[in-house]
Amino acid sequence: MPFLINVHGTGGGRGRTFPIGISQLFEAYRGQPQLTSGSDYYLGDLTVTNVTDLYVSNAFLAAVHDAHQPPMSLEFEAGNGDYGQDLSTLYPPEAIELKTRLCVAQGNRLLNLYLFAGGYNPPLAEPVGDGNDRIAFTGERHGFAAPVDPEGRLNPTYAAARRALHAVRGVADLLADSDEEDDGLALGFVPDHYLTEYHHPASASRAAQVADLERFRGMGPRDVLARALLLAGYSFPAVDLQSPLPADTPPVIALASAATLGPKVQQRLVEHLRGGGRLLLHGVLPERDHDGTRCTLLADALGLTVTGRVDDGPQSFPSVVGQRWAAGRAEVRVGYAQRLAGATAEPVLVEVGSGEPCAVEVAVGAGRALVIAADVPCDLDFWRAAVARLGVRQRLAADADGPGLVLTSTVDPVGQRLLHLVNVAPSAVTLALAWQGVPVLAGRRLRVPARTGLILPYGIRVGDATLVETTCELVSRDGNTVLLRPTQGDDEVVLATDRPITASRGSVHGTQGRVTVRLSGGPDDDPVRITVA
């Protein structure tokens, strides 16, 4: 019988503190047979504000699991958020659909909707004098925010949950044996950066250290490092930097860096660089161990020293401007800029007031590092250029007309792939996709409505044929027959086969082993049945 550990840590609609729960618990279950952890997520709605929180929380949780500990969510928020029965909160119904689509795209194998249905709390067999003498503290009823309330009535989140679970069920057999792919980039996870829940109230130095960690750790200052990477279209796992790096660690590590970083982690990053790896460091240059001892192993290897720092204030408006490949962009305001010096450092950003660099590129052995010591804005083009300097290339790229789209893909052991698109923006996004530089669907533009998502099959076996690409979502497969749900109103399905193809509607066109089924005539999402004869 497997034992499951419920990891808490979200609050106020955010997941910035969720890794505190991981840091407190992971050593109890990591690598232990028949024992694993699952998330306890209460994020409310999913928007550009917190979509990165969910993505990074999933990644950090997976980083301390082994291959026999699949990701899962043991408390997956499913209701409308009116937990206090005061109508101070009502989440949009589509929140559960967005969160479901993102979690399954990241490999979650189990989502326990909490609560899915409400009920009644019976009286205790023996009164205890606690005010209600019932088995719970919510009164006679519980789960009044659930999709199905205690009386069996459905609230608007029920239909959204149904849509999401139907979409997942159509590809369940593929998801069960698939893993998320990445772009050769991993986000560094330092569990000790989250040992901040308690500190001595009389220690000013410890309070300052905690404040520094809370500002810079995890997703980076203003959460921009992780948010920019995700909304720029990159997929990335996390890697636990306090343990030996796995053999399959991506070549580029992005780390949100505070002033505190332990010597073993610093040395591990130095070895990664000297071995030909690359490092994107965003925050401030590490300068001490967790006990306050000076530790500059990484800075010394980079050949960098800190010459000063400017912070914003009532009469201080620090700004930075680009150099070399970052030149040509407007000067931008920042909340702080740490000035850096190094004999071989190549300036990328300079602090306007002093003219000194606050972002530099440095070669270390066979590797290369990009250090950005200022809280620059979430300029997606800047961050794309930054990771491109370190050799990162998107496998799945989107030419989108606006931000808010999360892209990733999953693949099974035989190469069957699903393309996951999740639009958390409040408006529709249109885009053209490319896989490894090759246009998907001949470069046609797709429309993903506001706050919805798509799971598109890409190279899926259907009997003796291959479903090469399509604008439709998969409803089911059974032998030589596939059922697909149109998503665009003018849809197409491309198959590779020499066998005859029949479709329940639409037109079928075939040449030289490639068959296209075209479905036109307006927004009709009734499934189409395609059979390989």
Q: Which residue has the tokens 């925050």?
A: 283
Distance, CA of 265 to CA of 216 (rounded, Å): 16
Please identify, among 361, 389, 417, the residue that sits at the C-terminal boundary of a domain.
389
Total domain count for the chain? 3
The answer to whether residues 274 and 402 belong to one domain is no
The answer to whether residues 376 and 440 belong to one domain is no
The answer to whether residues 192 and 276 belong to one domain is yes
Residue 357 lies in a domain: yes
Burial string for 52-79 (b: 16+ CB within 10 Å, else e) reads bbbbbbbbbbbbbbeeebebbbbbbbbb
Contact 18, 7 (CB under 8 A): yes
Give the per-residue pLDDT at 512: 85
422 CB neighbour count, 10 Å cutoff: 25
Residue 175 lies in a domain: no
Three-class SS string for 181-239?
A: CCCCEEEEECHHHHCCCCCCCCCHHHHHHHHHHHHHCCCCHHHHHHHHHHHCCCCCCEE
Query: Residue 429 sits in a domain of what CATH number?
Result: 2.102.20.10
Contact 44, 91 (CB under 8 A): yes
The answer to whether residues 164 and 190 belong to one domain is no
Residue 373 burial (C-beta neighbours within 10 Å; 0-12, 13-18, 19+): buried
Within 8 A by CB and 6+ apart from 63, the residues are 189, 237, 238, 239, 240
341 CB neighbour count, 10 Å cutoff: 14
Q: Which helix (H) or strand (E) holds 297?
A: helix 297-302
Give the per-residue pLDDT at 138: 92
For residue 484, say if its preceding peptide bond is cis, omega within 30 degrees of 0: no
pTM of the model: 0.97
Query: Residue 341 sits in a domain of what CATH number?
Result: 3.40.50.880
Residue 250 lies in a domain: yes
Residue 427 lies in a domain: yes
Of 276, 255, 486, residue with least CA distance to 364:
276
Q: Which residue has the tokens 């070669």?
A: 363
Extract the tokens encoding 148. Answer: 């199905």
The answer to whether residues 85 and 57 belong to one domain is yes
Residue 151 burial (C-beta neighbours within 10 Å; 0-12, 13-18, 19+): exposed
The answer to whether residues 379 and 463 belong to one domain is no
Helices (H) and strands (E) in the chain, counts: 10, 34
Give the per-residue pLDDT at 176: 96
The answer to whether residues 64 and 99 belong to one domain is yes
Residue 17 lies in a domain: yes
Please identify, among 110, 136, 170, the residue that sits at the C-terminal boundary of a domain.
170
SS3 441: helix
Residue 176 lies in a domain: no
Q: Which residue numbers in the chain have pLDDT < 50? A: none
The answer to whether residues 34 and 119 belong to one domain is yes
Residue 178 lies in a domain: no
C-alpha 157: how far from its chain's center?
A: 23
Distance, CA of 348 to CA of 371 (rounded, Å): 9
H helices of 4-138, in order, are 18-29, 51-63, 94-105
Residue 489 sits at the vertex; the CA angle it makes with 488 and 491, to the nearest 5 degrees, is: 65
The answer to whether residues 401 and 385 belong to one domain is no
Q: Which residue has the tokens 């240059």?
A: 285
The answer to whether residues 417 and 473 belong to one domain is yes
Give the per-residue pLDDT at 525: 73
Give the per-residue pLDDT at 520: 86
Residue 180 lies in a domain: no
The answer to whether residues 56 and 27 belong to one domain is yes
Of 424, 409, 415, 488, residue with least CA distance to 455:
409
The answer to whether residues 136 and 225 belong to one domain is no
Residues spanned by the domain of 412: 396-532
Of 442, 494, 490, 492, residue with least CA distance to 467:
494
pLDDT tens digits, one per residue of 424-479: 999 999 999 999 999 999 999 999 999 999 999 999 999 999 999 999 999 999 99
Please identify, among 125, 145, 170, the residue that sits at the C-terminal boundary of a domain.
170
Of 13, 17, 140, 21, residue with least CA distance to 77:
13
